Amino acid sequence: LAKTTQPISMDSYEGQEVNITCSHNNIATNDYITWYQQFPSQGPRFIIQGYKTKVTNEVASLFIPADRKSSTLSLPRVSLSDTAVYYCLVGPSRSYSGAGSYQLTFGKGTKLSVIP
Amino acid sequence: GEEVAQTPKHLVRGEGQKAKLYCAPIKGHSYVFWYQQVLKNEFKFLISFQNENVFDETGMPKERFSAKCLPNSPCSLEIQATKLEDSAVYFCASSQREATAYNSPLHFGNGTRLTVT
């Protein structure tokens, strides 16, 4: 399974742009990168997904360099409500047995704290 | 419905008792997934279904855990003879297609917090 590494935590002031980088050195050719956001006492929520270069939606941007060994989630002008844990996922990845279907594997995530 | 609904929100069981958790996926979604979040942020994949068929059960501790997704019923995750280490938040998610298909994100419920005492 492609492993991801993210900073454990980040702090930012309101109104600033926040960039969270995820390393995935052993990403496979058919893997793509997905980011989820989780608030306390809630399930994760899909933010953005991409394969290469840049993807932008109404919430965030995702930058993926040519070698695809890392990716950066960019949150423009964060507010207090963006305080959450952000997970970077890489997939599809076969289960460790090598058989059966694919599954998404969550890493430990980055806890973003937005300060007034 | 438009949201994944999980019940109950909280469940407390004594060690050795049975626990049963329920999940109603979003209407029209063919795939259902169960994840266990034990420590603060760490998720463990348990099992996935395609309609009522088990799709991937490689994460399931089969001795005590079982799951079903029957037609016209909420999906369920059952733990026989709970242990202290089963204390966790159990999340259910659904998706239109296989979770790792492009543009088929997982939609999560808000989880069931199981406390085993």
Average pLDDT of chain A to the nearest whole number: 88
Instruction: Report CA B17 to chain centroid distance, whole Å.
Output: 18
* Separation between Cα atoms, residue A58 and residue A44, nearest integer Å: 18
* Separation between Cα atoms, residue B38 and residue A103, nearest integer Å: 18
C-alpha to C-alpha distances, B21 to B10, B18, B80, B84, nearest whole angstrom? 10, 10, 12, 17
Among the partner-chain residues B41, B48, B102, the one whose CB lies closest to the CB of A103 is: B48
B92 three-class SS: strand
Residue range A21-47, pLDDT digits in tens: 999 998 888 888 999 999 999 999 999
Residue range A2-16, pLDDT digits in tens: 688 999 999 999 999
Concatenated DSSP letters of A50-105: ESSEEEE-SS-EEEE-TT-SEEEEEESS--GGG-EEEEEEEE-EE-TTS-S-EE--
CB-CB neighbors (< 8 A) of B21 in chain A: none
pLDDT at B106 over 70: yes
Contact B56/A102, CB-based, under 8 Å?
Answer: yes
User: Any CB–CB contact under 8 A between A104 and chain B?
Assistant: yes
User: Any CB–CB contact under 8 A between B32 and chain A?
Assistant: no
C-alpha to C-alpha distances, A58 to A54, A72, A74, nearest whole angstrom? 14, 16, 12
pLDDT at B100 over 80: no
- Confidence at residue A98, expressed as pLDDT on a 0 to 100 scale: 42
